Structure 1
Amino acid sequence: MKDWWKIIVAAIFEVGWVIGLKHADGVLEWLGTAAAIYVSFYLLIVAGRTLPVGTAYAVFVGLGAAGTVIAEIILFGAQVNPAKLALIAVLLAGVIGLKLVTDEGGDEEWHGSH
């Protein structure tokens, strides 16, 4: 479970660096963006050592994308689009589903024939 937490924290840092890429103006903001990129990918790489890398990456990107959309709405007053929010919910359902069918040892659990 601790590796899934690494993915969640990595996704939070992903939101930070994606926002930084768009809004950074000064040296400190760019340094913060670079630090967020480093932490984000470091945690993803470490978690990928025990989790299936494809699943870990999909969860990382899905959470990052959802978090970025939500952050744009909350922090920058982006327009709330009900269709976009519904699609984010579908994305998050997929992320949760991936987590539920993946065990800690990196093996996919398939219900049915292989």
Structure 2
Amino acid sequence: MNKNWINVFIAALFEIFWVIGLKHADTLWTWAGTVISIIISFYIMIMAGRKLPVGTVYAVFVGLGTAGTVISEIIFFGEPIKISKILLIIVLLIGVIGLKLVTTDVRKGVDS
């Protein structure tokens, strides 16, 4: 896995932080953390999109962010566990992994 794909995963991690922040922030500091997470998340994703196919980068970014947010809500905030939700997250992650595996960097002709 190259540096650009690692950056996509890091951007998705910050996406999880800011999405949770949008729901749970209630002080100046938590709102500041949410805004900083948004800026970091999008900056890293945009930088990765300059070297990788932008459609795949965005799909992986959003897919991982969605799965991570749902899992975080279950683990940290008591969201009820539903088998259907878990199965759909698994399907989503299979799609994201599949996209990553079949994507090549057309600029260099090398698997990314």
For the aligned pair, the TM-score class normalised by the smaller chain equals over 0.9
1:105 to partner: Cα distance: 4.4
1:104 to partner: Cα distance: 3.6
Tell me how far apart the structure 1 counterparts of residues 107 and 83 of structure 2 sit (CA, whole Å).
36
- The residue aligned with 1:18 is 19
- The residue aligned with 1:55 is 56
Secondary structure at 2:104 match in 1: coil
- The residue aligned with 1:112 is none
Tell me how far apart the structure 2 counterparts of residues 93 and 105 of structure 1 sit (CA, whole Å).
23
> Within 5 Å, which residues of 2 pair with 1:2-41?
2-41=3-42
- The residue aligned with 2:94 is 93
**Unaligned 5+ runs, structure 2:** none
TM-score, scaled relative to structure 2 = 0.93
Secondary structure at 1:71 match in 2: helix
Cα distance, 1:108–1:19 mapped onto 2, change above 3 Å: farther
TM-score, scaled relative to structure 1 = 0.91
Tell me how far apart the structure 2 counterparts of residues 38 and 56 of structure 1 sit (CA, whole Å).
17
1:9 to partner: Cα distance: 0.5
Which moved further from structure 2: 80-89 or 99-108?
Answer: 99-108
CA RMSD of aligned residues (A): 1.6
Cα distance, 1:100–1:56 mapped onto 2, change above 3 Å: same
1:103 to partner: Cα distance: 2.0
1:106 to partner: Cα distance: 5.4
1:36 to partner: Cα distance: 0.2
**How many residues align structurally?**
109
Tell me how far apart the structure 2 counterparts of residues 74 and 106 of structure 1 sit (CA, whole Å).
40
